[in-house]
Structure 1
Amino acid sequence: MPAANATLYRLTTQWRFAAPLDAVWAAIADAEHWPLWWPGIEVVTLEPGDAQGLGALRRYRCRGALPLRLCFTARVTHIVAQELIEGRACGDLTGLGRCRLSHALGQTRVCFDWRVHTSGLRLSQLARLAQPLLRWNHDRLMRAGGLGLERYLARAAAGNVLKNKSA
């Protein structure tokens, strides 16, 4: 049983942005366009889901600082507009992922919470030795996403300001 526990991960990442909730929500909810601002992420929509994205099925390929690429599909199972996106993943990572958003005092907070286990044979065999390294790699990938989204939101806000000035 200890070997199985080595494949379990609880991964939590928080981002904070001095940006409106609706702008952050729009970027997060539009997963197919994450590669525009999130280095190391590839996303392909396999099934679009409903108008809000509920039921959408996407394939994700993730590559952090290590020469390791994780591939999984995730289906959106729950959405509360501008608050929550939840999905079930299967592939190299299997389990539940949640993204919660909130806004207070001019800051939008994004919290990603993953409860997954590695299911690929190679990752599972290496898990006991590699778990700290895989966590570090995850943190690097998520940090890159947060910085990328911050830059993306700043560019979008500057574009809106320019549009408003010319109006």
Structure 2
Amino acid sequence: MDWTHYRFRSRWTLPAPPASVYAALERADHYPRWWPQVREVTRLDDATGVIRIRSLLPYDMTFTAREVRRDPAAGVLEIAMSGDIEGWARWTVTAHGDGTLAHYTQEVAVNKPLLRRFAVPGRPVFRANHRLMMRAGRRGLAAHLRAV
């Protein structure tokens, strides 16, 4: 098993129409406004940006995100990532009752030396750190959608 490889999945139920959720998720440069752990997004061009994140643990992760797929009809947003993490992430947005289900899938390998060094003993802590980040993101997006 490669201890530096991670696959994450999250499901966010949100009280807003799919088009509104999709519109918020496709504006990655606005994530720091509602997602506390997304500290900074710097656009490089229309399809690429540098993102700096930090959750509960005392380290930042920085990566370049490049848009791979933007398909509003299918509700899909996908990026390729390189830097402290290497891999991809995808949002799939669908109607769910009166609101929306936003399904997040991420598959990455960690390149950051500190995280590689502690890959085996730190794995449960790193996964918990990611869960906390995703929980805060869901809460932040829900509040943002209520405000707009």
Task: Please classify the TM superposition score into its range, dividing by the shorter chain length.
Answer: over 0.9
1:120 aligns with 2:112: yes
Per the normalisation by structure 1, the TM-score is 0.84
Structure number with the bigger relative contact order (C-alpha 8 A, sep ≥ 6) is 2
CA distance in 2, matches of 1:120, 1:152: 31
Give aligned-pair identity as a percent: 32
Measured on the aligned residues, the alpha-carbon RMSD in Å equals 1.1
CA distance in 2, matches of 1:63, 1:104: 30
1:106 to 88, 91, 98: 98
Structure 1: unaligned runs, 5 residues or longer:
49-55, 157-167
1:13 aligns with 2:10: yes
Q: What are the Cα deviations for residues 28-66 of structure 1, in whole angstroms up to 9, with x where unaligned?
A: 011101111110202111111xxxxxxx11111111111
Q: What are the Cα deviations for residues 96-147 of structure 1, in whole angstroms up to 9, with x where unaligned?
A: 1111100132120111100101012221111111111111111111111100
1:75 to 66, 71, 78: 66
SS at match of 1:65: coil
Q: Which has the higher helix share?
A: 1
**Letter aligned with residue 23 of structure 1:** S
CA distance in 1, matches of 2:34, 2:112: 28
Q: Which has the higher strand share?
A: 2
CA distance in 2, matches of 1:143, 1:18: 15
Structure 2: unaligned runs, 5 residues or longer:
none
Alignment of 1:17-166 (within 5 A): 17-41=14-38, 42-48=40-46, 56-81=47-72, 83-156=75-148
CA distance in 1, matches of 2:15, 2:50: 30
**Letter aligned with residue 78 of structure 1:** R
Instruction: Give aligned pairs, total.
Output: 146
